């Protein structure tokens, strides 16, 4: 009996030590995760934006960029209003200061109305995969703007990293045309694009809008509630598109899109993962880390989007295009090495 008690105490002692070790390890892991909250939110943002870009590509090609933009922001507006009421007791962010309202509104107009208008226009001409690749330029653009406007630091490798990023992008956007010319026996030393130059220009303008909108968000948000700050951006973006559509008299097109069940399915899906989860996670990212680091992690979308582009949309992606996407990503990562 005494022997059994000794064994029981021994096993109990071992169990307690093991439990304490696991508890210490869990606490260390939790502390590590907590210290990298910004990076984790940036990674989540990349996943969300990959989903939303594929959804909005399908919706835009059926309903047009303006219709998709205004409908997804209206949906996001109501989602934010309901959640804000239950989480903060306010339908709208009335507790924000005038500084926060002004700068977050400007951020919403720049990011949503300017940036996303051109991004969605690019979906009409080129695939979401190529649009997102060009949108990866928003990371170095955001870093430069963060340095210029917010006084954030930059390193001396910036120009080299920018060159590598552009080189990777050029590998992708010129690859198919080069292959086609080689098959036809055409020797052409001029740079010829495989995709619509107009579509790529629109995607680049979208990158500019996203980068500036992100920097303005960080300046305007300060210590204010991230969810409410995002809500202000969405309100500004919604009213911006409402005014634009009213001026150019495109409401019949919007009505047509709203009654198309297939378009609305993609718009609702994109609205949940884009203006709601994606934008909210991106602001959490820049709140807990620098604009540059957050933008770098968010820039992995061109790599994340390759598998669904092949599997779901049957795009023909060459090995060189995949390598180019990884080179562009490597350039962006190098851009932020301390």
Does 249 or 187 have the greater pLDDT score? 249
What pLDDT does residue 30 have?
A: 44
Residue 80: phi and psi, rounded to 5, are: -65, -40
pLDDT at position 300 over 70: yes
User: What residues contact 45, with CB distance under 8 A and at least 6 apart?
Assistant: 278, 281, 282, 285, 294, 297, 298
Q: Percentage of residues in the chain with pLDDT exceeding 70?
A: 80
Q: What is the pLDDT of residue 335?
A: 66
Whole-number mean pLDDT of the chain? 80
Q: What pLDDT is attached to residue 8? A: 53
Distance CA 323, CA 330 (A): 10
Helix axes 138-145, 158-173, angle to 10 degrees: 150
Which pLDDT score is estimated for 233?
Answer: 93
Domain ranges of the chain: 48-154+196-314
Render pLDDT for 8-35 as a digit per residue (tens, 0 to 9): 555 556 545 655 554 554 445 445 445 5
242 against 49, higher pLDDT:
242
Angle at alpha carbon of residue 301, lines to 116 and 137, rounded to 5°: 60
| Separation of alpha carbons 313 and 305, rounded Å | 11
Q: Is the pLDDT of residue 180 over 60?
A: no
**pLDDT tens across 189-217, in order?**
555 667 788 999 999 999 999 889 988 98
C-alpha span between 181 and 215 (Å, rounded): 42
Asked if pLDDT for residue 41 goes beyond 70, the answer is yes
Are 62 and 263 in contact, with CB atoms under 8 Å apart?
Answer: yes
Cα 245 to Cα 238: distance, rounded to the nearest angstrom: 11
């Amino acid at each position: 009996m005494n022997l059994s008690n000794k064994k029981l105490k021994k096993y109990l002692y071992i169990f307690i030590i093991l439990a304490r070790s696991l508890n210490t390890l869990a606490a260390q892991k939790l502390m590590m995760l907590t210290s990298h909250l910004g990076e984790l939110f940036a990674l989540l943002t990349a996943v969300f934006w990959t989903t939303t870009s594929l959804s909005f590509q399908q919706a835009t090609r059926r309903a047009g960029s303006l219709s998709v933009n205004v409908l997804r922001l209206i949906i996001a507006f109501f989602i934010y209003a309901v959640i804000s009421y239950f989480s903060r007791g306010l339908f709208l962010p009335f507790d924000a200061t005038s500084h926060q309202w002004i700068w977050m509104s400007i951020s919403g107009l720049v990011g949503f109305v300017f940036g996303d208008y051109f991004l969605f226009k690019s979906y009409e001409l080129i695939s979401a995969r190529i649009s997102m690749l060009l949108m990866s330029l928003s990371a170095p653009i955001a870093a430069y703007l963060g340095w210029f406007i917010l006084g954030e630091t930059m390193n001396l490798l910036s120009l080299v990293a920018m060159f590598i990023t552009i080189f990777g992008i050029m590998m992708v956007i010129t690859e198919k045309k080069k292959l086609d010319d080689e098959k036809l026996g055409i020797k052409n030393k001029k740079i010829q694009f495989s995709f619509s130059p107009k579509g790529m220009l629109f995607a680049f303008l979208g990158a500019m809008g996203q980068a500036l909108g992100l920097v303005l968000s960080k300046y305007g948000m300060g210590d204010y509630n991230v969810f409410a700050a995002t809500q202000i951006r969405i309100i500004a973006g919604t009213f911006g598109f409402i005014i634009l559509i009213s001026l150019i008299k495109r409401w019949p097109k919007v009505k047509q899109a709203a009654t198309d069940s297939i378009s609305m399915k993609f718009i609702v899906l994109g609205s949940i993962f884009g203006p709601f989860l994606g934008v909210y996670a991106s602001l959490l990212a820049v709140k807990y880390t620098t604009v540059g680091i957050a933008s770098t992690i968010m820039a992995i979308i061109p790599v994340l989007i390759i598998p669904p582009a092949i599997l779901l949309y049957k795009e023909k992606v060459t090995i060189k295009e995949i390598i180019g996407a990884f080179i562009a990503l490597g350039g962006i990562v190098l851009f932020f090495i301390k």
